[in-house]
Structure 1
Amino acid sequence: MRRTAGSASADALHLEADVLVLGGGPAAAWAALAAAEGGARVVLADKGYLGTSGATAPSNTGTWCVPPGDNRAEVVEKRWQRTGGLADRRWMLRTVDQAYENLLQLAEWGYPFPSEDDGRLYIANLRGPDYMRFMRRRVLTAGVTVLDHHPALELLSDGEAVTGATGLDRQRHRDWRVDARAVVLATGGCAFGERILGATGLTGDGALMAAEAGASLSGMEFTGKYTMAPHGTSLNKGLPFRWASFFRENGEPLLGVDGEPLRNGIGSAERDVAAALIEGPVYARLDQAEPALADWLRRGQPNCFVPYDKAGIDPFRELFRVTLKAEGTVRGTGGIRVATETCGTDVPALFVAGDAASREHLAGSSSGGGAINSSWALASGWWAGHGAASHAKRTGRASPFRSRSRPLGRAGLRPAGPSAAGLEPAEIVAAVRAEVTPLERNYFREGVRLAASRERVEAVWREVRDHLAASGTDRLRAREAASIVANARWSLASALERRESRGMHRREDFPGQGPGFARSILVSGLDAVRLSGDEPAARELAS
């Protein structure tokens, strides 16, 4: 790994590598390991600390674990029926196959999976903190150079391919630059500033960087995934609410569409809870769980009960207030379009993995949830890392032509006009959240409301594009705000384009599925958002 003087300041860090991985979750870790296995010199730069950042680290996550056998195709087919017809069975089979191999690899490496009663390892579940701590050790052992607390701000390009990235060293207050033959974006999804587990840094940065390089996105309309949680907490683990009863603020039982009291907040009943939350506070009690089941829930999902314990509430006997937490593209399916078998994008030398990538191939219009997304991180990270290493090998080991590389970042970094002192990132994010997280706008969608939200978000984007700027480490917050606005624009434009209801995309003005929409909607562009699908010509929506 060669270090040279940086260009931004005398003490800036400059590295050269074959593969640069951006991100710090499981997809990034697997990508780094795969690239190193492929013989590449690898640098991994994370906004946080590899091993503790991202949505997986604080969670207990299952996987879509399907052992080889005759029923694998049957399991995939059963899951495909829930995808709204948009998933690809071949990609689903590839994913379960690769994820299973990687889980076995974890066992061979010595990851402490629990044992079944018959002594066999139970490899279907990963304890987030242990898993990511283990992956950090593997990445370091593989010789990867890890840059913790080094958020990327923008990609570099020579006009033909991506050639690296630049960013901030938050602890030393300096800039960094990595010239690389290939880049893997594993930066996670966009939570639109929602307070959910591990989502503080999930601001959609990778999507904005990819779009600036010319990549397209897919599935961005499928951001209507919400998870039930105790009110006022960051917990987004909805499993215990399968055994809940629900009540209005005055103590009356909440009734479903059938006129019966709700006894399950997951599945079709979620819609009834969402409608009631728009009208006023809703309370729950986990009184449908028998004592043995309650004990199993506490042991199997211990982090689900921390908020109750802190508040001195017994959720199995006492009422507590609930809410629905918006999860954006973290548990939605939208993200950067996967264009090749090795998770390459539309842009040469740029690869994508994990929640930064679209999961339409795998989940279609439904949520990937924790298990599907976890297996996708295992598989896509592995493919992207190997793909990036192969690309680097094909293009040779000579240093990239630094003189030809140019930074691609604009919004939040290099405004088109004079900077505006009163333009605050926190206020920008709040303005966007008001359009893309309320239940009455994003859970229950309708054309007029979507169009009004899009118009307001476009106005915010123009302000950001033309006037948002910052210096020093404040550039990170400005760039995150710009990323959240950009992801909201693509989501709203795609939601308006899909004039039907399918999966997480619920249109009150188009309640049924439209046969003409059994296809992906691609979105790209910054100054002008371009939409395309199966049509040969893209429709353009100018901002």
Structure 2
Amino acid sequence: MARSLPHFHGQIVTDDSESLHVSTDVLIVGGGPAATWAAVAAAESGASVTLVDKGYVGASGVAATAGVGHWLVPPVPERRDEEISRRERSGGFITDRVWTEAVLDEAWERTALIPEWGYKPSAKPRSPGSLFGARPGERSFSGAAPDYLRFLRGKVKKSGVHVLDHSPALELLVDSNGTVSGATGYQRQVKRPWRVDAGAVILATGGTTWKSHSLGGDVNTGEGHLMAVEVGAHLSSMEFSNFYGMVPFGTSMDKNGFFVSASYWDHRGEPIRYHDLHQSRAELLGASLRGTITAQFTQFDKEIWPALRAAMPNFFMVTDKLGIDPFNERFPMDWVQEGTVRGTGGIHILDYEASTGVSGLYAAGDIAARDRIVGAATGAGGPNLSWAIATGTWAGRAAAGFSAHRGLPTRFDVEPSGTLGVRGRGVNNVDDVVRSIQSEMLPIDKAVFRSNDGLADSAARLDRLWESASSAPIVEYSGMEAIAQRESAGMLAMGRWAVRTAMARTETRGMHTRTDFPDTDSSQAHRLLSGGLDDIWVEPDTELPRVGITLATQGSAS
């Protein structure tokens, strides 16, 4: 029986012990910063909005385990040029100034609204400076992620958004014209399937870590990317999907703000020199293959140690438990693959509406490629958060407008679009397949130090897994089994796209290191697009990077 919820002006068509069916203008899949900003923007535009998340909105995923430090640069030409030029250099000159300006503008305007909305952090804010790059006299927004995300969840609810926690999506719905028209999924806690018919869909499911045990990252398994490609979306910069986070040895605490300018020693106690740990960590990663390396946060003055502890209390909770004083002593460290969460690859969006090129489908946050703002380097926390705000806002507004023009789809004109892991083909043993994927995507000697022979071997192994699953007997997957199948299918698909794109970039640039092509090739200063399911394709992006001419010339000459 149809019913209504307070403040939600969509429709609950069915809500019983067997199933949930909702009709809404905009469906958002995900629950982190990009998803919540998209929900607020869509609601501001007058749309009815439903948001579904694999976890608890505002408390799951990588953002929930970190500090909040947005990349905020005032609209002052000199400051913008300084910041953008720095990202161009570290990003290998495949960034885009026009896109970066647009992201910085949107983040600057939207974060100014947060105090007006009533945000009150529980901890006293730090003075601008050291860790997140703000300067005296400039506006900054930083603090503890739990405060920020809890506030965004409240803002979403107050905006009338219908929130479904612990409700992972499994596949998109499309109408006879190929327009995305909603999604289906499963509610884990109440053990029932759900279906949402929507005039437009925004994917904001984050990046992919291949379940490396990156802190908060094991929910990021790539099925959002798979859903997008199943309906015709393309990917960008998937070769830059191999960023490794630093952790105190034996832990998963990969919050890296303190590590990027620390001091390091190899297993013999010799100092390790490095260039730019945002751009590449090859110097340290190579040393780690020869033995355990140690680190120490020698870069910070004693006066700011309390502020650093307040900014990232969960990091120091771990070091305190281990009996480590990272400011005064060397400690052993290790690595965890952060994939496309800290890498830059993802869905290729086309414009400032965050459209994917597929009618009715938009993408926001880490699921979308951040290559236009950070290139071949990591986006880290600040740029990724500003990207989440900008693309979330763009997607929310555009999806609301598209849905208003289109109207709600007719239920009987809509079909599911899933391939591997739903309503048919899947893997025989999920755990074994996940381990096989991880054996190609996680080891440093494979994922960081790449060569054509090594990449071809990984591609062949991953292709065999895909072919085996695609040719398996048809089985009806449902419930928790369907979730596990789709997660493994997403990880497998992301691995295949990453490896094939890495094979196509025959040079070293940013985090992409080719041992057989150790130099940077100026003729490859372009981004790479990819896609396909059974047959994967890779080709140069026809949209060329717009970078500072002088800097680009200097970069090519070097």
Contact between 2:27 and 2:51, CA under 8 Å: does it hold in 1?
A: yes
Q: Report how far residue 128 of structure 1 moved.
A: 0.8
Q: 1:31 to 1:229 in 2, by over 3 A?
A: same
Match of 1:162 in 2: 180
What is the CA deviation profile of residues 4-42 of structure 1, one whole-angstrom value per residue up to 9, with x for unaligned ones? Answer: 248xx9721000001000000010001111111111111
Q: 1:253 to 1:198 in 2, by over 3 A?
A: same
Match of 2:78 in 1: 71
Instruction: Name the SS for the 1:253 alignment partner.
Output: coil
1:107 aligns with 2:112: no
Inter-partner Cα distance in structure 1 for 2:249 and 2:415: 46
Instruction: Name the SS for the 1:346 alignment partner.
Output: coil
1:17 aligns with 2:24: yes
Q: Report how far residue 277 of structure 1 moved.
A: 1.5
Instruction: Name the SS for the 1:57 alignment partner.
Output: helix
Match of 1:94 in 2: 102
Q: Report how far residue 281 of structure 1 moved.
A: 2.4
Contact between 1:245 and 1:264, CA under 8 Å: does it hold in 2?
A: no
Match of 1:437 in 2: 442
Among 414, 421, 434, the alignment partner of 2:423 is 414
Residue ranges of structure 2 left out of the alignment (5+ in a row): 1-9, 129-135, 544-558
Match of 1:539 in 2: none
Inter-partner Cα distance in structure 2 for 1:535 and 1:265: 29
Q: 1:509 to 1:85 in 2, by over 3 A?
A: same
Inter-partner Cα distance in structure 1 for 2:330 and 2:112: 43
Match of 2:392 in 1: 381
Q: 1:148 to 1:100 in 2, by over 3 A?
A: same
Q: 1:301 to 1:445 in 2, by over 3 A?
A: same
Match of 2:317 in 1: 306
Matches within 5 A, 1:45-64: 45-64=52-71
Match of 1:259 in 2: none
1:277 aligns with 2:284: no
Q: 1:395 to 1:241 in 2, by over 3 A?
A: closer
Contact between 2:280 and 2:377, CA under 8 Å: does it hold in 1?
A: no
Amino acid at match of 1:179: D
Q: Report how far residue 184 of structure 1 moved.
A: 0.2
What is the CA deviation profile of residues 259-316 of structure 1, one whole-angstrom value per residue up to 9, with x for unaligned ones? Answer: xxx5999468943321121122223344565533544433333222221111223334
Contact between 1:415 and 1:466, CA under 8 Å: does it hold in 2?
A: no
Inter-partner Cα distance in structure 2 for 1:220 and 1:18: 31
Inter-partner Cα distance in structure 1 for 2:86 and 2:278: 17
What is the CA deviation profile of residues 65-105 of structure 1, one whole-angstrom value per residue up to 9, with x for unaligned ones? Answer: 01222324313233333322211111100000100111101
Match of 1:351 in 2: 362
Instruction: Name the SS for the 1:450 alignment partner.
Output: helix
Matches within 5 A, 1:246-265: 246-249=264-267, 252-256=268-272, 262=273
Give identity over the alignment, percent: 40
Match of 1:137 in 2: 154
Q: Report how far residue 391 of structure 1 moved.
A: 0.3
Match of 1:331 in 2: 342
Inter-partner Cα distance in structure 1 for 2:542 and 2:420: 30
Among 42, 48, 70, the alignment partner of 1:41 is 48
Instruction: Name the SS for the 1:19 alignment partner.
Output: strand
1:81 aligns with 2:89: yes
What is the CA deviation profile of residues 349-393 of structure 1, one whole-angstrom value per residue up to 9, with x for unaligned ones? Answer: 000000010111211111111110010001100000000001001
Contact between 1:411 and 1:466, CA under 8 Å: does it hold in 2?
A: no
Match of 2:141 in 1: 124
Q: 1:279 to 1:349 in 2, by over 3 A?
A: same
Inter-partner Cα distance in structure 1 for 2:102 and 2:280: 33
Q: 1:483 to 1:285 in 2, by over 3 A?
A: same
Residue ranges of structure 1 left out of the alignment (5+ in a row): 257-261, 537-543
Inter-partner Cα distance in structure 2 for 1:45 and 1:184: 11
Moved more, 328-337 or 107-116: 107-116
Moved more, 197-206 or 212-221: 197-206
Contact between 2:210 and 2:218, CA under 8 Å: does it hold in 1?
A: no
Among 454, 457, 465, the alignment partner of 1:449 is 454
Matches within 5 A, 1:115-514: 123-159=140-176, 160-242=178-260, 244-249=262-267, 252-256=268-272, 262=273, 266=277, 270-286=281-297, 289-396=300-407, 399-416=408-425, 423-467=428-472, 470-514=477-521
Match of 2:554 in 1: none
Inter-partner Cα distance in structure 2 for 1:2 and 1:173: 21
Q: Report how far residue 243 of structure 1 moved.
A: 6.0
Inter-partner Cα distance in structure 1 for 2:69 and 2:409: 41
TM-score, L = length of structure 1: 0.90
Q: 1:265 to 1:90 in 2, by over 3 A?
A: closer
Q: Report how far residue 245 of structure 1 moved.
A: 4.3
Q: 1:175 to 1:95 in 2, by over 3 A?
A: same
Contact between 1:524 and 1:530, CA under 8 Å: does it hold in 2?
A: yes
Inter-partner Cα distance in structure 2 for 1:164 and 1:406: 10
What is the CA deviation profile of residues 297-345 of structure 1, one whole-angstrom value per residue up to 9, with x for unaligned ones? Answer: 3333322222111122333444432112211000111101102220000
Contact between 2:125 and 2:143, CA under 8 Å: does it hold in 1?
A: no
Contact between 2:38 and 2:393, CA under 8 Å: does it hold in 1?
A: yes
Inter-partner Cα distance in structure 2 for 1:291 and 1:72: 29
Contact between 1:181 and 1:395, CA under 8 Å: does it hold in 2?
A: yes
Match of 2:546 in 1: none
Inter-partner Cα distance in structure 1 for 2:489 and 2:523: 33
Instruction: Name the SS for the 2:342 alignment partner.
Output: coil
User: CA-atom RMSD, angstroms?
Assistant: 2.5
Moved more, 12-21 or 192-201: 192-201
Inter-partner Cα distance in structure 2 for 1:337 and 1:521: 10
Inter-partner Cα distance in structure 2 for 1:120 and 1:112: 21
Instruction: Name the SS for the 1:383 alignment partner.
Output: helix
Inter-partner Cα distance in structure 2 for 1:410 and 1:141: 37
Contact between 2:90 and 2:278, CA under 8 Å: does it hold in 1?
A: no
Q: 1:479 to 1:267 in 2, by over 3 A?
A: closer
